Amino acid sequence: MSTLTGLRARTRIAHDRYQRLRSRPLGVRARLAALEDEVQENRQLHRRIAELTDVVTELLLPVAARDEERVAELLASYRRGI
């Protein structure tokens, strides 16, 4: 599954989960806890997008200006996180 496809799927799942929680007669505390969980998940997704953006940026640099050690480090870090 590509990163973008995974991101879309997780976003859709999170939205569906939130809609289910809103439709139930839950207390404010339960809804707040659900929203806090969603915020944390969004933070993690944004961090992954930033990491992926760093990798892509390094790979798109001209070969003469590219720092091969940095590229290897970024790719290794990204692969560990997958």
Nearest residue to 44 (alpha-carbon basis) of 1, 13, 81, 2: 81
Check pLDDT > 60 for residue 53: yes
Nearest residue to 10 (alpha-carbon basis) of 40, 30, 33, 32: 40
Which range is least confidently modeled, 12-16, 49-53, 76-80? 12-16
- Whole domain around residue 44: which residue ranges? 3-81
What is the per-residue pLDDT across 22-48, written as a single tens digit (0 to 9) for each? 666 678 888 888 889 999 999 999 998
Domain count, the chain: 1
